[in-house]
Amino acid sequence: MLICVTIFFRKKLNAKNFNAKLAFGAHRPFANRLIGFFANLPLGVPASITFRKYHLDHHKYQGDELIDVDLPTKIEGILFSSLVGKFVFIVLQPLFYCLRPVIVLPKKITFLEILNWTIQIVFDSAIFYFFGIKSLVYLWLGTLLGLGLHPVAGHFIAEHYVFVKGFETYSYYGPLNLITFNVGYHNEHHDFPNIPGYRLPEVKKMAPEFYDNLPCHHSWIKVLYDFITCSEMGPYARVKRQTKYSREWAQASDRQSMIESKKD
């Protein structure tokens, strides 16, 4: 079961990489979208395009209290700060990861999102018709476990929760990078988001003066354990910045047009 869940996690990372235009390059965006749809199928829920829409904001506006929906909400901090609460928070993390953006900062639905949903619904319906409800539930549970209480899912906590005061982004340099497309190289990923995961170790090797002295993780299992047991850790343990933007700006799908209209 552990191996199967790890495969689900790898599929999620595939979808992420393809939507970052890392499969066919920036000059073939639709090809990246199509292969992203394919990688999304085993997850059982349509997330490929919607994830990309919000993840780009996370990179550009990291820590912004309005735009960066990677930040847990106030109610999450209230409900899940106890030891038991943090355990539940990790188990249900895929639900928060999927639902928080569309609830906190809903954006205009795009054609590609509708296409993503349509393809996923057709696929799920086919699984149900030919293999039964158990097979479909297996896909959903695999996604829930693979992105929740699972060693490789420790990267969600490891990346930006403040384990060392003064630092808000952390890399992981451990053996699980071998099966997760080097997703642990997170400082490197934020510095160079268009470099595919398999080349991120080269970034660290080329610029050791920038990365070798930063706090980092070597075990995602320890990350999960420390997050749950340490009284100073919890949903509130994130760097949060007061926003400089309006809600209209945050929800806009074409911010460049807004800038140009203001100039006129």
Q: What is the mean pLDDT of the chain?
A: 86
Is the pLDDT assigned to residue 110 strictly greater than 60?
yes
pLDDT at residue 32 is higher than 90? no
pLDDT of residue 262: 53
pLDDT at 2 over 50: no
**Is the pLDDT score of 137 beyond 70?**
yes
Q: What CA–CA distance (Å, rounded) separates 155 from 157?
A: 5
CB 88 within 8 A of CB 80: yes
For position 81, what pLDDT does the model report?
95
| Closest of 156, 152, 204 to residue 178, by C-alpha | 152
Q: Which residue has the higher pLDDT, 36 or 203?
A: 203
What is the model's pLDDT at position 254? 63
pTM: 0.85
Contact (Cβ atoms closer than 8 angstroms) between residue 18 and residue 12 = no
Q: Is 39 exposed, middle or buried (0-12, 13-18, 19+ CB in 10 A)?
A: buried
